[in-house]
Structure 1
Amino acid sequence: MTDAAEHRPAYTHGYGAAVLKSHRARTAENSAAHLLPHLRPGMELLDVGSGAGTITAGLARLVGPAHVTALEVSEEAAALTRAELGRQGLGEVEVVVGDAHHLPFADGSVDVVHAHQVLQHVPGPVRALAEFRRVTRPGGTVAVRDSDYEGFRWWPERPGIERWLALYLRAARANGGTPDAGRRLLAWAHEAGFTDVEATSSTQLYATAEGRRAWAGTVAGRVTAGALAEQLAREGWADAAEREEIAAQFLAWAEHPDGWFNLLHGEILARA
Structure 2
Amino acid sequence: MINSDSLSRPDPIAYLDQVAASEAGRGYKEQVLELLDLQRGQTVLDLGCGPGTDLAAMAAAVAPVGRVIGVDRDPAMIAEARGRLAGQPLIEVRSGDVHALPLEESVVDRARTDRVLQHVADPAQVLAEFRRVARPGGRIVMAEPDWEGLLIDSPQPAMGRGLSRFLVTEIVRNATIGRSLARLCVEAGLVVRTVATVAPVFRDFATADQVFGLRRNVARAIAAGYLEPEAERWIEGLGSQPFLASTLLFLVAAEVPG
Deviations 1:28-59 (A, max 9, x none): x6325144252112110000111242222322
**How many correspondences in the alignment?**
241
Question: How many Å apart are 1:236 and its aligned residue?
Answer: 5.1
Q: Is the 8 A contact 1:107 1:135 kept in 2?
A: yes
Corresponding residue number in structure 1 for 2:107 = 109
Question: How many Å apart are 1:270 and its aligned residue?
Answer: 1.3
C-alpha separation in 1, matches of 2:19 and 2:250: 19
TM-score normalized by the length of structure 1? 0.74
Corresponding residue number in structure 2 for 1:123 = 121
Larger radius of gyration: 2
Is the alpha carbon distance of 1:40 and 1:266 closer, same or farther for their aligned partners in structure 2, counting shifts above 3 Å? same
Equivalent residue letter for 1:199 = T
Corresponding residue number in structure 2 for 1:5 = none
Are residues 1:248 and 2:236 paired? Answer: yes
C-alpha separation in 2, matches of 1:250 and 1:76: 35
Q: Which residue among 146, 149, 152 is the counterpart of 1:151?
A: 149
Q: Is the 8 A contact 1:120 1:181 kept in 2?
A: yes
Indicate the SS of the match to 1:118.
Answer: coil
CA RMSD of superposed structures (Å): 3.3
Is the alpha carbon distance of 1:104 and 1:217 closer, same or farther for their aligned partners in structure 2, counting shifts above 3 Å? closer
Deviations 1:106-136 (A, max 9, x none): 1101111111111111121111101011101
List gaps (5 residues or longer) in structure 1: 1-11
Indicate the SS of the match to 1:119.
Answer: coil
List gaps (5 residues or longer) in structure 2: 1-8
C-alpha separation in 1, matches of 2:106 and 2:211: 39
Q: Is the 8 A contact 1:75 1:97 kept in 2?
A: yes
Question: How many Å apart are 1:16 and its aligned residue?
Answer: 6.5
Are residues 1:266 and 2:247 paired? Answer: no
C-alpha separation in 1, matches of 2:55 and 2:197: 20
Q: Is the 8 A contact 2:17 2:53 kept in 1?
A: no
Q: Is the 8 A contact 2:13 2:77 kept in 1?
A: no
C-alpha separation in 1, matches of 2:186 and 2:169: 27
Equivalent residue letter for 1:96 = R
Matches within 5 A, 1:169-180: 169-173=168-172, 177-180=173-176
Is the alpha carbon distance of 1:127 and 1:265 closer, same or farther for their aligned partners in structure 2, counting shifts above 3 Å? same
Indicate the SS of the match to 1:104.
Answer: coil
Question: How many Å apart are 1:265 and its aligned residue?
Answer: 1.4
Question: How many Å apart are 1:74 and its aligned residue?
Answer: 1.5
Q: Is the 8 A contact 1:32 1:145 kept in 2?
A: no
C-alpha separation in 2, matches of 1:168 and 1:180: 11
